[in-house]
Structure 1
Amino acid sequence: MQDWTSECDVLVVGSGGGALTGAYTAAAQGLTTIVLEKTDRFGGTSAYSGASIWLPGTQVQERAGLPDSTENARTYLRALLGDAESERQDAYVETAPAVVALLEQNPNIEFEFRAFPDYYKAEGRMDTGRSINPLDLDPADIGDLAGKVRPELDQDRTGQDHAPGPMIGGRALIGRLLAAVQSTGKAELRTESVLTSLIVEDGRVVGAEVESGGETQRIKANRGVLMAAGGIEGNAEMREQAGTPGKAIWSMGPFGANTGDAISAGIAVGGATALLDQAWFCPGVEQPDGSAAFMVGVRGGLVVDSAGERYLNESLPYDQFGRAMDAHDDNGSAVPSFMIFDSREGGGLPAICIPNTAPAKHLEAGTWVGADTLEELAAKTGLPADALRSTVEKFNDAAKLGVDEEFHRGEDPYDAFFCPPNGGANAALTAIENGPFYAARIVLSDLGTKGGLVTDVNGRVLRADGSAIDGLYAAGNTSASLSGRFYPGPGVPLGTAMVFSYRAAQDMAK
């Protein structure tokens, strides 16, 4: 017999978009629910995100007049992923409309369609995208909960609170979900509560042991435990053991948060794992403190390896960019790489960079270097001068023609999505010719790892023999992603986390 500290129907570990969707799904059906967040703020990596959510064929796309459907999305996933995980693919796209319908029944939650292209050219692709986003949120609308949401990445990593103005992107999503969960009257939201182990009786997970306020608590969960608490991105030791490319300090996860606690707890009770060497990769602009900033939306410049040569289309979707870096890397030949750019934007990087450190700080720290000539830039970076000069000249010739014969930059709708008109035939190709010239160090970052506990269509954690562990569920980056080594479109991490957390809660409610 256990000496329980507290009791609930559903225990949710984590507080990102997936975890809170699961908590709301349970609580809205009258199940008493406890949400545990490891840190002092809710939201995890979801709060840092732009909150595009890949939930296809819903009432939101219908309101926008978008010619999307469940079948179209299924076609796209099959064309890209094949028949691997076909049952979970089907469960994902077939459940998405129900998830959105449930959430939008709550007055705190509303979504809209915002254009952002799917990431691969495959049958069923939407060139305009099919992702949905939460509406911006006035902090006053959710009262004290606003201060409990993790601030945006720029603010959070510099120890600041929320910037003035409306909560947007991931913060709006988390704020709205928190308000919805609280409105049920059936949920308790706890911060600074760290999962240390799962409690098993007669082969069933019946609760969890948690450290909070210096005390050990034992929480009973009558219906089950849902773990949606991120991956191993912040755990250098687990990354090394799994062979996950990149470094923990380069990850975009909240520092000290996503260290694989839930995955380790699942393994300890017999859960199987997969894809632990995988992540939602992205290029990262190395920061003066050794961390990295998420780089997306490249609209100028070019990227070279240590030999001073291009090796990829710089406008690729970020996961494909990161994978190209890793595939090309040979004894550090591509990690770090260098982004070469000119002064068209006043010395600023021709890309979106989050957090966006001032160029002067980069130049002072040496993570960027500047020079009046390409030869001088080569000397400062250690790149071969002749190779760098040749690469830039070849790129400039391509920009004038509007055709990148080597890497096809600008041929895909995604490539030009962030690019303003440049007066040429290809908005994604702009010549590098206005000195001074700059080189920024680019490393292999990620938005979180995507390997974890193996689960079924209802998020139940499976053993190596395929049997389910009663009472234990996982979703989001705590589970092994159905998309394998692909990142199909903007918001697939959030979308899958929300769908399978919803399905887990529904399974517990039966």
Structure 2
Amino acid sequence: MPAALKAEIAAEEVVDILVFGSGAGGLAASLFAAKRGMKVLLCEKSSLLGGTTATSGGVLWIPGNRQAKEAGIDDPIENARTYLRHELGNYYREDLAEAFLESAGPAIEDIEDGTSVAFDLIQSPDYHPDSPGGVDKGRSIMARRYDGTELGPDFELVRPPMDRLMVCGGMMVGPDEIPAFVRPFASMANFRRVVRRLARHGLDRLKYRRGAQVSNGNALVARLLHSLRMHKAEIWVDAPLKELIRTDNRVEGAIVERQGRAVRVRARLGVVLATGGFPQDPALRREFSASFPHDYSMAFEANTGDGQRAARAVGGAVDTELSSPCLWTPSSLLKERDGKSVPVIYGYLDRGRPGIIAVDPEGRRFVNESNSYHDIVAALFERRAALGAADDAPFHFICDAAFVRKNGLGAIRPWPWSPSLSPFVRNGYITTARTLPELARRIGIDPASLATTVERHNMFARTGKDTDFGKGSTSFNRVWGDPAAGPNPNLTPIVKAPFVALPILPATLGTAVGLKTNGDAQVLDASGGVIPGLFACGNELASPMRGFYPGGGITLGPAVVFAYRAVLKAVAEA
């Protein structure tokens, strides 16, 4: 802490539960505590609430959820246990897995009870549904769409979603609306739906800086915020954690910076850290993910390891015994008008669709492109190592212009939202060419190799069977397919000039390495002992999925569940 702050404690506050971070974990912990009559203070480092959660898909992986049971889906917890044991292998930590499975369903029922929080079951298979214990549906739920006008002025506190999920100056397009917005003129129903949303958006913009009809992670954050206001929890923004206070072998509170002054906050029951891990901190990335070199993250820019540094300063241990230090997605770099290059996430529209392949620096496919974003980057790292390639060796998505017109590509939206590829060619975001050999030469890979790779892919599209990588062979793959594509919904030939190449590179969705905890989210020291009064949830704690990505929502699901367990433990110990 700066000497000027440390020398002058401006005030002291006393609460029951002190929470740092306003993503799903921090908001949920605050709500669980406030619902139980606790005096809660939530401190957010930035001026807006939501962190990475606000820009996420808002999906939670929750085996045994109420929504699946009500839909008649029979999925005993033992199936999920089998699935996790298979997926995590030797990295499986029984205490964390059992705590998660035991509390997943109850945590969701608790957070929905007497609040504005609501979830719906979504059609999302596990990412490896053919593995033992995997399912085609039933474990992933999503925050229900929300009308932000119900928050009144507080809606301006919710961090906006990514630009890719917004059109027309801040209108958020939810997953159920994408088909209509991608093809607004395909039917009168599509056209009417788009016009109605545009009209409502115009009304919202009279009062707010963006559209107030929100979905995905933005809806989850808005619903949690509304619920916290209902339960009288106190929220401070622009209030970063400076240090934890540990006396008599217990964490009793923290020093918080507020309006340029240091405030000592004493927490009678405990401090919950949920500041989002360290994806945006280069020093911590070098310390914990040096063997997975990368420069970019889709996580919130303020997630710089504040909670982990504070916990380590009072004896907290970091758990590095994971398969991967981070959770991954392919990304591309878009140069903005100021010359800065920003990462663009692998999106909803182009992800895994038929008619696109991923190639390595030698022009060869290296992965099933309809697998999960995490799996694609894991395969990229493996291929890079196998080739002995440099960290900046080029990997690309290859498709034709017809694919981009229909599905978009990275930052490029489908027609009519992006009427031309020319601006993206001029700023260097994509490369185009009339022939595949010409495209290969322009992106620096072997022309013959790329031509052979594309022809082999096109043969698979004609026969319907990808004998190299099994594209289209699982229910998860087929979620991203097109039934009109041919014998295999995930395969369409790449044949129509101009051809398009998009450079891709690894980026993180968040970190998996984090504070070492027990099943009650209590932070442990180097000897494995509990640090009383200190808890962690979200990406602050080491992922119970141990660096793997078994299904949609494996960050937000555990974030809410371990927030629940942390609060129950803190209250019980009181």
After TM superposition, is the score higher than 0.5?
Answer: yes
> Match of 2:505, SS?
strand
State which of 318, 338, 350 in structure 2 corresponds to 1:273. 318
- Does residue 153 (structure 1) correspond to residue 162 (structure 2)? The answer is yes
TM-superposed CA distance for 1:335, in Å, is 5.1
Query: CA distance change for structure 1 residues 354 and 367 in 2, over 3 Å: closer, same or farther?
Result: closer
Going from structure 1 to structure 2, the CA distance change for 1:77 and 1:335 (only over 3 Å counts) comes to: farther
> Residue 58 of structure 1: CA displacement?
2.1
User: How many Å separate the matches in 2 of 1:127 and 1:353?
Assistant: 30
Aligned pair in 2 of structure 1 residues 354, 365: CA closer, same or farther (>3 Å)? closer
Partner residue of 2:252? 206
1:285 shift after superposition: 2.1
Question: SS state of the match for residue 145, structure 1?
Answer: helix
- Aligned-partner Cα distance in 2 for 1:80–1:320: 12
1:189 equivalenced with 2:196 (yes/no)? no
Q: Among 85, 93, 96, which residue is 1:88 paired with?
A: 96
8 A contact 1:371–1:438 mirrored in 2: yes
Cα separation, partners in 2 of 1:328 and 1:165, compared to 1, 3 Å = same
* Cα distance between partner residues in 2 of 1:335 and 1:360: 25
Equivalent residues in 2 for 1:294-313, closer than 5 Å: 294-296=345-347, 297-299=351-353, 300-313=355-368
Give the TM-score normalised by the residue count of structure 1: 0.94
Alignment partner, residue 390 of structure 2? 332
What are the equivalent positions in structure 2 for 1:252-291 lying under 5 Å apart?
Answer: 252-255=298-301, 257-275=302-320, 278-288=325-335, 289-291=340-342
Q: Match for residue 321 of structure 1? A: 376
- Which amino acid letter does the alignment assign opposite residue 454 of structure 2? V
Determine whether 1:492 maps to 2:554: yes
* Distance (whole Å) between structure 1 residues aligned to residue 404 and residue 411 of structure 2: 15
Q: Distance in 2 between matches of 1:438 and 1:341?
A: 5
Matches of 2:357 and 2:422 in 1, distance apart?
21
Residue 361 of structure 1 deviates from its aligned partner by 3.8
Change (3 A) 1:88 1:218: same
Tell me how far 1:355 sits from its aligned partner: 9.2
Cross-structure match for 1:115? 123
The yes-or-no answer on 1:46 pairing with 2:53 is yes
- Range that drifts further, 84-93 or 339-348: 339-348
Is residue 153–residue 354 contact of structure 1 (8 Å, CA) maintained in 2?
no
Q: Equivalences for 1:14-413 in 2 at 5 Å?
A: 14-82=21-89, 84-120=92-128, 121-154=130-163, 163-185=210-232, 187-244=233-290, 245-248=292-295, 250-255=296-301, 257-275=302-320, 278-288=325-335, 289-296=340-347, 297-299=351-353, 300-329=355-384, 330-332=388-390, 336-347=394-405, 359-413=421-475
Higher helix share: 2
- Contact map agreement 1:136 1:172 (CA 8 A) in 2: yes
More moved, 401-410 vs 81-90 = 81-90
Q: CA deviation at 1:240?
A: 1.5
In 1, the alpha carbon distance for the partners of 2:50 and 2:356 equals 34
One-letter code of the match for 1:221?
A
CA positional deviation for 1:478: 0.7
| Contact in 1 for aligned 2:522/2:530 (Cα 8 Å) | yes
Q: Which has the larger displacement, 498-507 or 4-13?
A: 4-13
Tell me the secondary structure at the aligned position of residue 403 of structure 2. coil
> Identity over aligned residues, as a percent?
34
Does the CA-based 8 Å contact 2:344-2:410 persist in structure 1?
no
Letter of the 1:80 partner, please give it. E
- The question of whether the paired residues in 2 share the 8 Å contact of 1:293 and 1:354 is answered with no
Structure 2 CA distance, aligned partners of 1:449 and 1:506? 25
Give 1:445 deviation, angstroms.
1.1
Judged with a 3 Å threshold, the aligned counterparts in structure 2 of structure 1 residues 350 and 139 are, in CA distance, closer, same or farther, namely closer
SS at structure 1 position matched to 2:265: strand
Q: Which amino acid aligns with 2:540?
A: T
How much does 1:54 deviate? 0.7
Moved more, 331-340 or 46-55: 331-340
Q: Is this contact kept in 1: 2:68–2:138, CA < 8 A? A: no
How far residue 75 of structure 1 moved from its aligned partner, in angstroms, is 2.3
CA shift for structure 1 position 258: 0.4
| CA positional deviation for 1:265 | 0.7
2:507 corresponds, among 440, 445, 466, to 445
Gaps of 5+ in 1: none
Whole-Å separation in 1 of the counterparts to 2:310 and 2:252? 13
- How far 1:147 sits from its partner (Å)? 1.3
Equivalents in 1 of 2:358, 2:492: separation in Å? 13
Query: Does residue 558 of structure 2 align to residue 504 of structure 1?
Result: no
Instruction: Please tell me whether the aligned partners of residues 251 and 534 of structure 2 are also in contact (alpha carbons under 8 angstroms).
Output: yes
In structure 2, C-alpha distance between the alignment counterparts of 1:305 and 1:455, rounded to whole Å: 39
Q: Cα distance, 1:331 vs. partner?
A: 2.8
Counterpart amino acid of residue 497 in structure 2? G
